[in-house]
A and B are shown apart, each in its own frame.
Chain A
Amino acid sequence: MKPLALLFILLFPLTATAEAMRYPAASGPERPERLIVHGALDVAYIQPLLDDFHRRHPDIDLTYRNLDTLPLYRRFLATPDEADVLISSAMPWQYRLVNDGHARPLDTPASRDWPAWARWRQELFAFTFEPIVMVVRRELLERYGRPDSHAELLATLRDHRDDLRGRVVTYDPERSGAGYTYAIEESRLSPRYWDLIAALGDVDTSLVDTTGEMLEGLTDGRYWIGYNLLGSYAHRVVEDDPDLEMVVPDDYTLVIQRLAFMPRQAPHPRNARRFLDYLIDETGQAVIASQTALGAIHPELDGPGTADAWRAERGNALRPLTLGPGLLATLDDLKRQALLTRWRREFNRDDEDR
């Protein structure tokens, strides 16, 4: 476990300390039933869901702790009987926990109807649909036009190498788990990914840890192009800032999903079942669609804020991460070392050649 823990410290720096929210039970019995949710999902995004759940189940004393993906994972392994529901966007890590038999299956009508591509073994459920996007500034659009695909982005980077130097930002795959996950997925999707990395290296792209940092720099005007941002987080910032525009690449768009499961040793399994069922049934999903930018995937829902809407708009370009054992390969130590070595080599290639 040690190298993995070390990996986590590198991948998910502690940008936020554990942030907790509590919804006390309205009244009633002496000892109200409790529910403890651990999630790697900012409070701002999950709050509408928690509010609605609390309104429907006022008797449940609900505690939500917002943790980063690494502390979440480590805390779970240390005390597997602490949380009732675990939510995280670190898909490979969540998958690994469930694969190792830490999850309890959920058998409800909603879970049975849940699309097969968004669940695994009735144990692990994907309940959001969040495309990975580019965000560009007005300055870039005015000068070089809009890069609608990875190929166009590559061409723009190559054609205007000197003008764009220091004006591009993306994830650092070495320090960010999200960045690493996207890198490994993209390298599988397209062999030209490595050309893109080389081009990013040529323009001295800044490497950061979070979508938040990228959005900050873009709002400031330090960067003109942000590559691989979490669409759900970028959505709100871009809407508020007329200088920014969100670009969803039309050749391929990665989609990540928040995964939730009930630990086998959940202290309040009945409430855990209720909450997990709420996340994937039509009411919870409707809240996600209408009040958040997370993207609902319930098959009965369509319209804005749903996976269906994304599909209607983007069609075959969407590439959700496959929920399957392939995710385990992402976590392989040697695989990671190999990928990062290649990534560094490609990123620095042209500098040395020249």
Chain B
Amino acid sequence: MQAIKITDLTYIYSKKTPSEKVALAGVNLSINEGEFVTVVGHTGSGKSTLVQHLNGLIKAQTGVVEICGIPTSNKKNLKQLRFDVGMVFQYPEYQLFEDTVAKDVAFGPKNMKLSKEEIDKRVRRAMDLVGLPYETFAERSPFELSGGEKRRAAIAGVIAMEPKILVLDEPFAGLDPIGVKEITELVLKLKREICPTVVMVTHNMDSACELADRIVALCDGKIVADGSPKEVFGDRNLIKEIGLDVPFVARVVDRLEEEGISLDKTILTIDELTSALEEYKKLKGGDGNV
């Protein structure tokens, strides 16, 4: 089933003014239920504008955005749409506002007019899932939490609505290496247990390659690449042309090639790289004792 279907979507900021800017120019994109899609592109390529269409935060000017078969232009469904598409914005911890973590996480489900028991159940589940056990954190002030904990509390607030689609805009920004690892694991867990479809925007190409089944690259408001990480990053010319960062491992592969050591261009992880180099060394006859 198609979770997201975008047809001929164009969006222009400050239309008919001197500062008019085309953010999206004829985007077509279908995402199936169960997919993990990462949207990449340099600053100003239209990534954030695109994902803000997914829960109707931005209305389509031209074109159609359908979520689970229902067009987002259908005003009657706007509330349901916001529940179905969980949006985790950049620095979501800035949006914490209640005096306890439990109340903050309950804000979404309360707006869904659920029963008290159901709200309570969802808050507990969401907090446990993000690694902030209810018993310990429920009554704590969100403002006393550490940076990583705050971000997880904010994500719990979105998860408590049990959305069908999870959209994350730069979820790793500003985190320390441990924080990046925790959020990476959390996103994968949420995909398994709550929202089968995940769309993530990131500048971190290493995370993009590690997490996603599919990468969609935007440049000047158009989709310029769409495929597996290996397909997309295997095409180095395209990556450079659209101003994306070549992931570290791919850069090393390219540098080695310049030095006459040819490896497979689709190598993207340190594991693959070290195995390929081990193999190469064996073929060359080990440590030179041919």
B is a partner of A? no
